[in-house]
């Protein structure tokens, strides 16, 4: 029996604080047993033969303290360890995916405006389609297809409609404490980067109008409890930060964000009112009923000719009523997801959907159904 084990037994240290170490090659846990106090985490690693250049302490260091008869203290530390080469390097991932910025494209002679719906990326989530590296690659490939599509369509301007849940968070969808591969700060960092990357791809085609709404995954929450007001949404905070970046860079981008107490937003495109809400405001398939009540209540979203939503992760297209002033049909467009998979939903309901980016045009005649594509 080692001296540390003899000391643990003599002082009757609780079993869970006795010395032990587990390591699977990439992650592990360490309980030091009673040792002299140390202020440097590197020293804790070295005592268990871990190289601080290759392994790091993940999270907090917990401790159990015992004062000896001579007045000195001994501490048993518990902490998790992780190989540094397993950490995600977001700058490196983006450097690999980033394309050379393109020059301005000559706009179309028509009044066509192309709307790009970015929905439910849920950055930081892991699933059957992978984690952050796979999502970065998927989004980068999507932008390549989007750039080619815009070059073919030659719109006079574009709209980026970010329909919510751009990152996963830690207080929604079953409180995913151990299924994310990014911290909340990293999720917000990547979300902001993605918004900026999409704006850059769209900016050669003239003005970019960016629409953004609060959503359940990016809300300021404590578990299921919402904190603050809808405008305190952390996804909206990402948009507000990127607006500063585009302003400084001289990019012709303009943001449309709901009022602080509102959850939906509208934008007038050549007389066609484009509205957007995340979709957690109603049950599955309930958009038309919710939309109708908004119109009856005199809410701004009630004036929309097109309602764009996300949240339910699969494409759905429905005509819903008619604009009495133009005689044109109103449409509800539910966007597909770009996330890494909602396996809990597939296991429960047997349903799944392919990831994709919803894109369509609005012209002088309103919504162009023939233009709708999934990239």
Give the residue numbers spanning the domain of 34: 3-85
CA neighbours within 13 Å on the CB side: how many for 197? 22
% of the chain at pLDDT higher than 90: 43
- The two counts, helices (H) then strands (E), for the chain are 8, 17
Do 69 and 215 fall into the same domain? no
- Look up the CATH number of the domain holding residue 136: 3.60.21
Among residues 30, 60, 85, which one ends one of the domains?
Answer: 85
Q: Which of 43, 70, 85 is the last residue of a domain?
A: 85
Q: What percent of the chain has pLDDT over 70?
A: 85
Domain shared by 97 and 41, yes or no:
no
State how many domains the chain has. Answer: 2
The model's confidence at residue 208, banded by pLDDT at 50, 70 and 90, is very high
Q: How confident is the model at residue 325 (pLDDT cuts 50, 70, 90)?
A: confident
Contacts for 238-246: CB closer than 8 Å, 24+ residues apart: 238/166, 238/188, 238/191, 238/192, 238/195, 239/162, 239/195, 239/210, 239/212, 241/192, 242/192, 242/195, 242/196, 242/199, 243/210, 245/196, 246/196, 246/199
* Claim to verify: residue 134 and residue 167 sit in the same structural domain: yes
pLDDT band at 27 (very low <50, low <70, confident <90, very high): confident
CA distance 276 to 256: 10
Query: Do both 55 and 188 map to the same domain?
Result: no
Confidence check: pLDDT of 17 > 80: yes
Length of the chain: 375
Is the pLDDT confidence value at 349 over 70? no
Q: Do 242 and 344 reside in the same domain of the chain? A: yes
67 shares its domain with 198:
no
- Examine the pLDDT at 106 and tell me if it is beyond 80: no
Q: In this structure, are 103 and 77 located in the same domain?
A: no
User: Domain boundary residue among 68, 85, 102?
Assistant: 85
Phi, psi for residue 20 in degrees, rounded to 5: -170, 160
């Amino acid at each position: 029996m080692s001296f540390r084990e003899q000391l643990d037994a003599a002082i009757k240290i609780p079993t869970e604080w006795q010395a032990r170490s587990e390591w699977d090659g990439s992650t592990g846990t360490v309980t030091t047993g009673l040792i002299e106090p140390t202020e440097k985490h590197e020293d804790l690693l070295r005592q268990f033969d871990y190289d601080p250049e290759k392994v790091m302490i993940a999270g907090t260091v917990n401790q159990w303290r015992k004062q000896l008869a001579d007045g000195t203290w001994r501490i048993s530390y518990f902490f998790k360890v992780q190989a540094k080469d397993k950490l995600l390097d977001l700058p490196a991932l983006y450097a690999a995916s980033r394309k050379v910025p393109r020059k301005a494209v000559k706009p179309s002679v028509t009044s066509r405006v192309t709307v790009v719906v970015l929905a439910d990326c849920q950055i930081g989530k892991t699933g059957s389609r992978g984690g952050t590296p796979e999502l970065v690659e998927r989004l980068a490939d999507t932008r390549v297809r989007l750039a080619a599509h815009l070059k073919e369509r030659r719109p006079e301007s574009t709209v980026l409609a970010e329909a919510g849940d751009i990152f996963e968070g830690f207080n929604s969808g079953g409180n995913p404490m151990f299924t994310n591969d990014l911290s909340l700060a990293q999720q917000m960092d990547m979300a902001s980067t993605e918004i900026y990357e999409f704006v850059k791809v769209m900016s050669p085609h003239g003005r970019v109008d960016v629409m953004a709404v609060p959503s359940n995954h990016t809300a300021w929450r404590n578990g299921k409890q919402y904190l603050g007001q809808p405008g305190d949404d952390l996804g909206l905070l990402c948009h507000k930060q990127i607006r500063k970046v585009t302003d400084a860079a001289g990019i012709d981008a303009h943001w449309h964000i709901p009022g602080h107490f509102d959850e939906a937003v509208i934008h007038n495109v050549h007389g066609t009112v484009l509205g957007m809400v995340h979709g957690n405001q109603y049950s599955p398939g309930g958009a038309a009923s919710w939309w109708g009540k908004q119109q009856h209540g005199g809410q701004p979203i009630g004036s929309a000719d097109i309602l764009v939503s996300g949240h339910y992760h699969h494409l759905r297209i429905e005509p819903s009523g008619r604009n009495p002033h133009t005689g044109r049909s109103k449409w509800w467009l539910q966007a597909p997801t770009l996330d890494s998979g909602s396996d809990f939903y597939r296991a429960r309901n047997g349903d799944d959907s392919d990831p994709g980016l919803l894109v369509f045009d609005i012209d002088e005649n309103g919504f162009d159904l023939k233009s709708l594509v999934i990239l």
